[in-house]
Amino acid sequence: MKPIKRALLIITTLFLLSSCIQEKEKSLSFIFTADMRDYTGDNKDYFRGACEAIKNLENIQFIVSPGDLDPPDSTFYTIQKYIDKEIVWYPVVGNHEAETDSDMEWLRNHNKEGNSLPNVVNIGPASCTETTYSFDYENAHFIVLNEYCNEECDTCTKGDIPDILYNWLESDLKKNKKKHIFVFGHEPAYPMPDMETQRFRHVHDCLNQNSENRDRFINLLQTHEVIGYVVGHTHNYSIVKINELWHIDVGHGRGRADMGARSTFIKVSINNDKVNYQTYRLDYESREYKISDTGSLN
Please write the tens of the pLDDT for every residue from 70-84: 999 999 999 999 999
Give the pLDDT score at 298: 87
Dist. CA 223–CA 72, nearest whole Å: 34
For residues 215 and 257, the answer to whether their CB atoms sit within 8 Å is no
For residues 220 and 265, the answer to whether their CB atoms sit within 8 Å is no
The mean per-residue pLDDT over the stretch 263-277 comes to: 97
Number of domains in the chain: 1
Cβ contacts of 72 within 8 Å, gap of 6 or more = 91, 97, 103, 106, 107, 110
Whether 126 maps to a domain, the answer reads yes
Give the pLDDT score at 32: 98
The mean per-residue pLDDT over the stretch 126-132 comes to: 97
- pLDDT of residue 20 exceeding 90, the answer is no
Per-residue pLDDT of 197-246, as tens digits, reads 999 999 999 999 999 999 999 999 999 999 999 999 999 999 999 999 99
121: left (phi over 0), alpha (psi -120 to 50) or beta: alpha
Per-residue pLDDT of 141-196, as tens digits, reads 999 999 999 999 999 999 999 999 999 999 999 999 999 999 999 999 999 999 99
Whether 18 maps to a domain, the answer reads no
Give the pLDDT score at 15: 52
Give the pLDDT score at 17: 47
Whether 6 maps to a domain, the answer reads no
Whether 20 maps to a domain, the answer reads no
Sequence-ordered alpha helix ranges (H) in the chain: 3-25, 47-55, 72-82, 95-98, 101-110, 163-175, 211-223
Containing structural domain, residue 155: 28-296
Name the band, by pLDDT with cuts 50, 70 and 90, for residue 286: very high
- pLDDT of residue 25 exceeding 70, the answer is no
Whether 19 maps to a domain, the answer reads no
Instruction: Provide the percentage of residues in the chain whose pLDDT is more than 90.
Output: 90
- pLDDT of residue 5 exceeding 80, the answer is no
Q: What is the dihedral of CA 101, 107, 108, 112, to 10 degrees?
A: 160
More confident residue, 147 or 2: 147
Give the pLDDT score at 26: 75
CATH code assigned at 243: 3.60.21.10
List residues bridging with 180 in a β-sheet: 140
Whether 200 maps to a domain, the answer reads yes
Whether 11 maps to a domain, the answer reads no
Cβ contacts of 211 within 8 Å, gap of 6 or more = none
Instruction: Provide the percentage of residues in the chain whose pLDDT is more than 70.
Output: 92
Give the pLDDT score at 16: 52
Give the pLDDT score at 1: 55
Average per-residue pLDDT in the chain?
93
Sequence-ordered alpha helix ranges (H) in 139-230: 163-175, 211-223
Cβ contacts of 240 within 8 Å, gap of 6 or more = 190, 192, 246, 247
